[in-house]
Amino acid sequence: MNGVLNIHYSNPIYSWRRAALMKHIPETALYHGNGDYDLAEKLLESINNSPQKNVRDSPESEYLRYLARDDYEAYFAGEISRYINNVKRRLQTQEGVNDYLRLAESRRRVFRPPPESLDPANGLAEFPMSIPYATGLKSNSIPVEMATSGELKEVVDVHNRLKNPENPQSRFSNFKGCPFAAH
């Protein structure tokens, strides 16, 4: 399961790449005892059966590449260290600070879009005034995400990636008593 967590690690929230992998998470998992479930095996089987595994930069192919590494833990320790150093370096510049404020605002707007956008807010955004947004940015500004270099890049195809009306996690929250279930 570590491979899933390392997909798009520079974007811990609103990661369209991890969201794309949610369709491969099985609805049920069997407990084998000794603390082991068959979740990882079922996930791997689903990804291996997906046509997306052959698409060069797809989340599925990335996941399979990570699992194939013999030096998986050392590789990601190095990747994350480089990422943190890149962010620290960018925070030493005004441009970097401005970019990270823009990133924060971009993520905030996914959670609670400005009223003039007419996009629905996240169901957890109960009180409109509790989460402000930067009025200096256009309401139609293109969302951004963090690259592993510490630079920002625009999220292309926003509708299908960040604002997809089909919630890939919905099947996990449709049981009685779940606060995120659509009742």
Question: What integer pLDDT is reported at residue 179 of this predicted model?
Answer: 41
pLDDT at 173 over 90: no
113 vs 41 pLDDT, higher one:
41
pLDDT band for 148, please (50, 70, 90 cuts): very high
Instruction: Output the pLDDT for position 55.
Output: 93
Q: Where are the domains of the chain?
A: 2-172
How does the average pLDDT of the chain come out, rounded? 81
Res 142: pLDDT: 81
* Rounded CA separation 130/124 (Å): 11
Q: How far is Cα 143 from Cα 13, in angstroms, rounded to an integer?
A: 13
| Alpha-carbon gap, residue 183 to 179, rounded angstroms | 9
**Has residue 122 got a pLDDT over 80?**
no
